Amino acid sequence: MRNEPHQPAGNQPASSDVPHAVHVPTRKEWLALAVLSTGLGLIVLDGTIVGVALPEIIRDLNLNLTDAQWVNSLYAVILAALLLSTGKLVDRWGRKRMFLVGLTIFVAGSAYAATAGAASPLIAARAVQAVGAAFIMPSTLSTVNAVFRGKYRAAAFGVWGAVISGAAAIGPLAGGALTQYASWHWIFLVNIPLGLIVAILAARSVPETRGGKPARGADVDGALLSAIGFGALVFAVIEGPDLGWWKPKADLNALGLTWSKDSAISIVPVALLVAAVALALFIRWERHRARVNRSAILDLGIFTFPTFSWGNATAAMVAVGEFAIIFVLPLFLINALGLSVMGAGLVLAGMAVGAFLSGAAARHIAARYGSPGTVLIGLGLEVVGVLALVLLIRSTTPAWLVAIPLIVYGLGLGLASAQLTGTVLRDVPVTASGQASATQSTVRQIGSALGTAFAGAALSVALGINLPNALEKAGLTGQAATQLAEQTRQSAGSTILQLRAQGAQSPLGGQTASAVDALVDGFATSTRWSLLVATLLLIFGFVGAARLRRAAE
């Protein structure tokens, strides 16, 4: 049964947000949907386009595995930390205005990233991009939620969800093409003209909308607690393999301070404790703000809708699975199998093919099985696709064979994403659309950050175990073999490419070929371990989709 609409504390319905009859969208409003979807596509694309270019960036800027994880995941970490706050600001200050502000920041961050010559500037530029994206994402979804009604809203949400899945899936192909035929800098430079075009069209076509009348005060404490909690959680997962999950393995130098490897405990469990405390305090603080009728960045009351709660849990697992694949597979395809950047992009384009095919068909499938049923079918296909990858990947697996389960996975991704958004927000009052959409976007970004973090951590741990074992089986032992295994792990597999290029001229001499074969075998096994983690998390998502379907009945 559907719950009675919940009115968020401190908000009153805005007349512009509560229609008396279903409004038929004008041509200008459909154009606005296209513009907003393109803007959304830019920031979703930027979350995945880096993956396939990452091996080239690692070699060019001499990054280690942890640097690579931060380049890939900091974008999602910052988004996750800011989206609740920006969702509130978007409702208060105007969605169109904040969309344009976000585009400006995003384009500036892209220009900064394109000129980066080292790890630190590139990571900083990714943070700037994420700040801009944090304003763009809730602006798009809340505007769509405010403008479109009835059957038109379902169609608009279908477009919005298809853009998310399609742009995310096509990112690796675009990244591969730009990196191979130009340079990795162009994966960021391309955002500049596209962002300017979107801004001009948005200024002409997108209507200005706002949320309900805000309650008193600014929830600065809530914003800080959420940012600290989410940031500390992802930091711990990413840094755990290198800094140590309990006992310190290496020094941590940050902000002029050092956490020594001689300390009694690693900083990782401390960060996990900080995350748990901060998030617990955040929930308690938001409840307090609601009780005293003060502005809160998260109205916990919207979680009383089972469709919203279970839908968000499912969305998080969808993002975890997708970004785990996008992070791990390019490293395996390029560094282990020796594919070109474009070749890896073409293999990963299997996801895009599947997503576009199923995204177009999702509406018809939903007409028969309902949106929640379509989401459940999508999650089932995702689990099958990733599990097939786990079973197929070997050191001798041909690249074209890897693309087949990716198509199956993409079919599921398109079905789930296209229908999930509308299902999650279907019971939420339109006056809370900015906050609800920001919450959903936050959950997705936390999922994408954790997908990269979990997959990267699993890959790092697995490489630490499997590379030495593979070298030992090949008859390579001793300190030199240990150093080679660690160097390969730290470089995320780039060492394999270097050994291939050097051949018998490498320091290993005549043992180079057998060492390369052993490292590739160890990398393939580690990739399977990492994808198995993604499979288990997607199974949790399937359970969530089943509960979502039951809640929507």
Given pLDDT bands bounded at 50, 70 and 90, which one contains residue 15? Answer: very low
Q: Looking at the chain, how many residues does it have?
A: 553
- Give a three-class secondary structure readout of 471-521: HHHCCCCCHHHHHHHHHHHHCCCHHHHHHHHHHHHCCCHHHHHHHHHHHHH
- Asked if residue 21 has pLDDT above 60, the reply is no
Superfamily of 27-208+295-464+527-552 according to CATH: MFS general substrate transporter like domains (1.20.1250.20)
Tens digit of pLDDT for each residue in 409-447? 988 888 887 678 778 877 777 666 666 776 777 777 677
**pLDDT tens-digit readout, 405-419:** 999 998 888 888 767
**pLDDT at residue 29 above 50?**
yes
Residue 324 confidence (pLDDT) above 90:
no
Q: What is the mean pLDDT of residues 155-181?
A: 70
Look at residue 154 in the predicted model and tell me its pLDDT: 62
Separation in Å, CA 168 to CA 49, 67, 164, 410, 522: 8, 22, 6, 10, 29
* pTM greater than the 0.75 cutoff: no
d(CA 168, CA 322): 8
Higher pLDDT, 221 or 326: 221
User: What's the rounded mean pLDDT across residues 302-320?
Assistant: 86
Look up residue 345 and give its amino acid. G
Task: State the average pLDDT for the chain.
Answer: 81
Q: What are residue 350's DSSP bridge partners?
A: none
Q: At what angle do helices 220-243 and 433-473 cross, to 10 degrees?
A: 10
The CA distance from 383 to 416, in Å, is: 12
Residues in contact with 109: Cβ distance below 8 Å, sequence separation at least 6, in sequence order: 125, 126, 127, 128, 129, 130, 131, 132
The angle at the Cα of 51, spanning 514 to 410, to the nearest 5 degrees, equals 100
How sure is the predictor about 150, in pLDDT bands with cuts at 50, 70 and 90? low
Q: Give the model's pLDDT for residue 529.
A: 92
The lowest-confidence range among 101-115, 197-211, 223-237 is 223-237
**pLDDT digits 0-9 by tens, 342-392:** 788 788 888 878 877 886 677 788 888 888 888 899 999 999 999 999 999
Instruction: Write down the domain spans for the chain.
Output: 27-208+295-464+527-552, 217-294, 465-526
Residue 518 in contact with residue 474, Cβ under 8 Å? yes
DSSP class of residue 118 equals: S
pLDDT band (50, 70, 90) for residue 454: confident
CA 122 from centre of chain: 18
pLDDT score for 264: 86
Confidence of residue 527 (pLDDT cuts 50, 70, 90): very high
Q: What is the pLDDT of residues 481-520, one digit of tens each?
A: 888 888 888 777 778 878 888 877 777 777 888 888 899 9
Which pLDDT score, from 0 to 100, does residue 180 have?
79
Long-range CB contacts for residues 239-246, cutoff 8 Å, separation at least 24: 239/66, 239/267, 239/268, 239/271, 240/268, 240/457, 241/456, 241/457, 241/460, 241/461, 241/464, 242/65, 242/66, 242/460, 243/267, 243/268, 244/268, 245/269
| Helix (H/G/I), strand (E/B), else coil: 216 | strand
Instruction: Quick: pLDDT tens for 101-135.
Output: 999 999 999 999 999 988 889 989 999 998 998 88
Highest mean pLDDT among 167-171, 420-424, 459-463: 459-463
pLDDT at 162: 63
pLDDT tens, residue by residue, 139-148 = 887 787 777 7
4 — pLDDT class (breaks 50, 70, 90):
very low
